């Protein structure tokens, strides 16, 4: 496991964008796993800038997003489909057929085949080369909430009360479920990059990196992965007592 602590949110965003850009430059048909949330916003801005400057070509890039709320309309500003359109897909030359994200509008009885199809598409693409993750304050990755089994694949899940309160301004009107990649799906990726910013993530980061491997802190499963980097700003790394770039 590698832990990199940088001075600021801007610095981790640039570093994350560069690691993603590298994957796009060196792989013929790069397969990326992508997150949403506030943390990766600037990373996406930088990637779009690189594209605009002619530094990156997304025409052979395949992407698989981690999760989506359920049920939710793709036009709902709170949906991750809308987020990805606005923040990345519209800004670069990725092909529609190559950007995958769960459909928050799929009929209830079709959720299971939808999830099976998603797993199949990842496998058909040859697996994920690099997956970028955020982390919830309760240690969730994707929407794998505390208690999730490590052998889970894509499925519909109940959101915890904490997550709903953290993620929505008006929790009363929020969707109570989500469709998410499972912990197994995530950890099958060849490389994992987890981004965290701000002191409110410090506890989850400490548990994930130095605590026991436990279902109570889902991100602690990453300790089992052979190629994982935690990229943290000073706030998120506060509990760790490590210098920049130190490996444990």
- Which residues contribute to the site for ligand GLP (CB under 6 A)? 35-39, 66-67, 134-136, 142-143, 163, 167
CA distance 95 to 98: 5
Q: Which is nearer to ligand GLP, 35 or 237 (CB)?
A: 35
Shortest distance, CB of residue 25 to ligand GLP, whole angstroms?
Answer: 26
CB of 98 to ligand GLP, least distance (A): 21
Considering the complex, state which of residue 142 and residue 182 has its C-beta at the smaller distance from ligand GLP: 142
Q: Catalytic one among 4, 23, 65, 67?
A: 67
Q: Is 166 helix (H, G, I), strand (E, B) or coil?
A: helix
The contacts of residue 167 (CB under 8 Å, 6+ apart) are: 159, 174
85 is catalytic: no
Q: How far is the CB of 54 from ligand GLP (least distance, A)?
A: 29
Q: Which of 65, 103, 140, 233 is catalytic?
A: 140
Pull the structure tokens for residue 218. 């889902």
Catalytic residue among 145, 167, 207, 233: 145
Q: Which is nearer to ligand GLP, 27 or 177 (CB)?
A: 177
- Would you say 11 or 27 has its CB closer to ligand GLP? 11
Smallest separation, CB 142 to ligand GLP (Å): 5
What single string gives the DSSP state of each residue in 43-97? HHHHHHHHHHTTS---TT-EEEESEEEES--TTSTTSHHHHHHHHTGGGS---GG
**CB of 229 within 8 A of CB of 5?**
no
Sheet holding 177-180, edge to edge: 67-70, 177-180, 155-158
Residue with smaller CB distance to ligand GLP, 94 or 205: 205
From the list 103, 138, 144, 167, the catalytic residue is 138
CB of 140 to ligand GLP, least distance (A): 6
What does DSSP assign to residue 230?
E
Judge whether 140 counts as a catalytic residue: yes
Asked if 127 and 188 count as a contact pair (C-beta separation under 8 A), the reply is yes
Active site residue 138: yes
Is 114 noted as a catalytic residue in this protein? no
Contacts of 197 (CB under 8 A, 6+ apart): 9, 12, 38, 39, 232, 233, 235, 236
Catalytic annotation, residues: 67, 138, 140, 145
């Amino acid at each position: 496991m590698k832990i990199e602590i940088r001075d600021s949110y801007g610095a981790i965003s640039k570093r994350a964008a560069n690691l993603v850009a590298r994957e796009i430059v060196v792989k013929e048909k790069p397969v990326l796993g992508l997150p949403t949330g506030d943390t990766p916003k600037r990373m996406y801005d930088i990637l779009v800038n690189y594209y605009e400057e002619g530094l990156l070509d997304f025409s052979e890039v395949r992407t698989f997003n981690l999760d989506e709320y359920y049920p939710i309309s793709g036009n709902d500003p709170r949906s991750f489909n809308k987020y990805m359109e606005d923040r990345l897909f519209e800004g670069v030359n990725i092909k529609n057929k190559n950007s995958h994200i769960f459909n928050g509008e799929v009929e209830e009885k079709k959720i299971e085949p939808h999830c099976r199809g998603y797993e199949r598409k990842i496998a058909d693409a040859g697996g994920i080369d690099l997956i970028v993750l955020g982390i919830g304050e309760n240690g969730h990755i994707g929407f794998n909430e505390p208690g999730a089994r490590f052998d889970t694949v894509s499925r519909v899940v109940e959101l915890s009360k904490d997550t709903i309160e953290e993620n929505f301004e008006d929790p009363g009107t929020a969707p109570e479920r989500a469709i998410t990649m499972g912990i197994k799906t995530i950890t099958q990726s060849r490389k994992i990059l987890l981004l965290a910013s701000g002191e409110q993530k410090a506890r989850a980061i400490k548990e994930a990196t130095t605590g026991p491997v436990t279902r109570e802190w889902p991100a602690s499963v990453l300790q089992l992965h052979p190629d994982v980097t935690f990229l943290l700003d000073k706030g998120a790394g506060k509990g760790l007592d490590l210098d920049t770039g130190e490996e444990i």
